[in-house]
Each structure stands twice: as C-alpha cells, then as structure tokens.
Amino acid sequence: MSQEPPARSPAAAERARDLNREAMAAMSRRDLAGAKARLEEALRLSDQDASLWINMAACERALGEPEAALTAVEGALALDARNFMALLMKASLLERLGRLRQAAGAYGVALTQAPPEDRLDAATRQALRHARDVNGRHRAELQAFIHAEMADTLSQTASAETRRLQAFADMLVGVRRNYRQQPVDFFYPGMPAIEFYDREHFPWLPELEARTEVIREELQSALALDAGRFTPYIKYSENVPLDQWAELNHSSRWSAFHLIEFGAPQEAACARCPKTMAAISALPQPQIPGRSPAAMFSQLQPRTRIPPHTGVANVRLVMHLPLIVPPGCGFRVGNESREWTVGEGWVFDDTIEHEAWNESDQPRVILICDVWSPFLSEIERDGIARVMSAMDRFSETVPAGGV
C-alpha cells in the first residue's frame, strides 16, 4: 500500500514560507549559499510545496550546479506534473547539460502547458520563444531523418499509400495534426478520413474539367445578366447560435448562384446554364428529396475568409471546379492547404475541418457539387437515402444544410 506523505504542522508550513521569502531575498543579493541553506531547511519542513523545489532548482542553477538543479525540478514535477515553469526549467537544464534531444522533447512538453503569452513576463516570453525554436528544429530534423529512412519504401508505393505513410510519420513527429471527421448531423461508421481524395476515385472528373470553358461562359452570363440570383450562402435565422458565422450571416461577401438547392433544381438558374447542368448530370450525386443533390456557383468577395467549419454528412464528398481564381486565393482541408487553378478540380471530405480565403482585389468563383463517397456500395447509398428520407418524413422537417 502506498503511504501518504507525513502531515506537516501549520507552524512548520508557515516557517517554510518565511524561509522561502528569506531565500528569495538572499538570491536577490546574490547570496546564493545563504539562499540554498534556507531553501534546504524549508524543504525539510515542507517538501510538498512545488514552488520550494522550483526555487531550489533556480538557486542550484545560479550556483552552476545544473545536475542538482535538475534533481530539484524533478521534485517539483513529482508534485505537479503540469507545472509550466518547472517543465520549462527542466528543458533549459537539459539543454545546458548538452542533452539536446532530450531538451527538445522536454521543450515540446512545456509548450503544451504554456499559458497565454500576455500573462508572462518578458523573460519568460523570450524563454518560450526559444522553446518553440529548439523544439521546431528538432521536429524538422526528426522529420527529415524519418523521411530519408522511408525513401526506399515510398518509392515502391502508390500515391494513396505514400500519403498515408507520410501522414503517419508526420503525426508521430508532431508536425501534422490528426484531423477527424466531424459531421454536423450524419456520421456513417467506417468511412476513411481523407482530406483531398486521389483523382483515380472519380473517373468522371476529367470530362467535367474538359467542359470548364463552356461552364465559365455560362457563369459569366449569369454574373452579367442574372447577378441578383447570387444570394448570401449563410442564411441563419436570428434565433440560431451563429458562432463562427456571425460575420458572414446574410452577407453577400460569400454568395451562391444555386443550380440545385436541397435536391430541387432552380428552374431559372438551370435555364441560364444548360451546358453546366448537362455536365453535372454525369456526376454520382446523392438523390435525397429535400436534401440533395446540390450544385452552385460559389462566389467569394475580395478580402474575405470563410472560417474553419465542417459539413453535414460523411457519406458524401464535395467537388470544386475553379472557374475564376485571382492570385491570393486558397483553401485548407485539415493539414493540407492548396491554391485553386482554373479548370483543375478536386474532391475533398468536408466533414474534416476546412476553410477558404480570398486575399485578392477580385471575386473568386468556383463550381461546387456534392457526390457520393466512392467507398459506399449501391446498397449502402440506397439505405442511407431511405434512412434520411424516413427521418425527415417522420419529423416533418428538414434542417437547413442538406446532406
């Protein structure tokens, strides 16, 4: 059975606090030997106070005894394993002792416990920046070493296998986050969490890309003659929590020319863009009344950012076909950021956190469509559609957001 630490009398604890104050005063006078003697006495009276151990570590460090200082800081961490100052001091001491790889890892641990910088004094902020630099260099060196060790294996793998191997290594090193699917409404078990999908899953994509120019022509016509159909994409009512959408709610800074909205073709928009509709018809889109398919021209105004968010369901993916893309536009899904190129489509999982931005002085417009995940069988697609439709009929409502 583990033993509890012996109880200390209130008088002993009070005397330890007095000795600590005397030790700090002695250190300020550079009487390091006197400070150490007082701290040793204080710890004999009250060794369950992490701050005493941290002060002892600082004193030993000032005396030029880094090993003794490290022992003292370990005493503090035995009492409070998440103590930021103790963790930062431990890393600094390991660096001073020349144990650089251990120091880099220890700095990484300290960074996980760092408070906001505005709560730190100037010296600690500088130490925190040093911690980031040392840990960052260590991660980069480790990443390069592991990738070099993997080179022969990677040269033998297909692109999907390469992506998974590199992601595995980068998450181990700590330079890549493990982004998961976070659908707002519908989570289907067993679906892979892939940020950007390989093109090989979508044999229809090259044909759609080949129609970019005719789609662009219809878009330009819509912009010139039917601009009023570009309406705010975010349209929440006042009684709904807006969270990250407050700035864009009912704003034309992000607008959509809906061709198909919540499964319903928009007749006037479709009539304006018949060639676009013909191109879209070849896509394997979900068919769920009141929810899907969806297709639209998405327009993002200059100096506008779509905040990080996730989509509704992981049973379908989202396709982007860039049509008007000024410089300074970008898109991030999970760990990977890309820039659009006119006529080069991609498909991504929008239940993984994603965001978009337009830092240019011109609007950006892309065609967006939803498509079934290629990892669902026809039986599953039919079953998913039936479940969603049954739920909607039973509840007699369809939440805004589609599939």
In the chain, which stretches have pLDDT less than 70? 1-8, 398-403
Q: How far is 42 from 19, CA to CA, in rounded Å?
A: 6
Q: How far is 393 from 72, CA to CA, in rounded Å?
A: 67
**Angle of helix 66-79 relative to helix 50-62, nearest 10 degrees?**
170
What is the pLDDT at residue 9?
78
Q: pLDDT tens across 124-179, in order?
A: 999 999 999 999 999 999 999 998 998 888 888 777 888 888 899 999 888 899 99
Closest CA to 381 of 226, 188, 193: 188
Percent of the chain beyond pLDDT 90?
A: 82
What is the pLDDT at residue 122?
94
Q: What is the DSSP letter of 318?
A: E
Q: How far is 365 from 324, CA to CA, in rounded Å?
A: 5
Q: What SS3 class is residue 179?
A: coil
Residue type, 33: A
What is the pLDDT at residue 249?
93
Q: Are 165 and 146 in contact (CB under 8 A)?
A: no
Q: How far is 369 from 347, CA to CA, in rounded Å?
A: 9
Closest CA to 34 of 45, 42, 23: 23
Q: Are 93 and 77 in contact (CB under 8 A)?
A: no
Chain-centre distance for alpha carbon 146: 23
Radius of gyration in angstroms for the set of CA atoms belonging to the chain, rounded to a whole number:
30
What is the pLDDT at residue 352?
98
Q: How far is 353 from 369, CA to CA, in rounded Å?
A: 18
What is the pLDDT at residue 1?
44
Is the pTM value of this prediction over 0.85? no
Q: How far is 354 from 350, CA to CA, in rounded Å?
A: 7
Q: Are 339 and 364 in contact (CB under 8 A)?
A: no
Q: What SS3 class is residue 155?
A: coil
Number of H helices, E strands in the chain: 13, 11
